[in-house]
Amino acid sequence: MKNLRNSVQLIGRLGKDPEVKNLASGKMVATFSVATSENYRNAEGEKVEDTQWHNIVAWGKVAEIASSYLKKGNEVAIEGKLVHRVYTSAKGEKKFITEINLNEILMLGTKA
């Protein structure tokens, strides 16, 4: 069985085009967000759509693929691992971030 210790799989749509940076080390990194939505009916019988946004980080070859082929609105299936980071902002505030480090991506289609 595939390693399930820290594995995330999502299907969703890109919220914006990937932002790509080439680092001084020569590595390429691409960041983008993916929205996942589910619909359900609440206690009053009203239809409710719940959308969650996920921050995605791709490195190296996967970043190159993301920068070349992904656009806002594209539907993708992704697989990666959860990463939690903490940093201090310029204002001295402690910030907490949860991201998905991308391992694999499958392009499912464009928004109609």
pTM (predicted TM-score): 0.83
The pLDDT of residue 109 is 75
Q: What is the CA radius of gyration of the chain?
A: 16
Consecutive 10-residue averages of pLDDT for the chain (112 residues): 79 94 93 94 91 96 92 95 93 95 89 62
Which residue type sits at 110?
T
Q: What is the pLDDT of residue 5?
A: 82
Would you list the domain boundaries of the chain?
8-109
- Report the phi/psi class of residue 27: left, alpha or beta, with left for phi > 0 and alpha for psi in -120 to 50: beta
The confidence score (pLDDT) of residue 2 equals 62
Which tens digit of pLDDT belongs to each residue from 40-58? 999 999 999 999 999 999 9
Assign 62 to helix, strand or coil.
helix
Q: Which pLDDT score is estimated for 1? A: 54
Domain 8-109 in CATH 1.10.287.3510? The answer is: no
pLDDT for 3 equals: 65
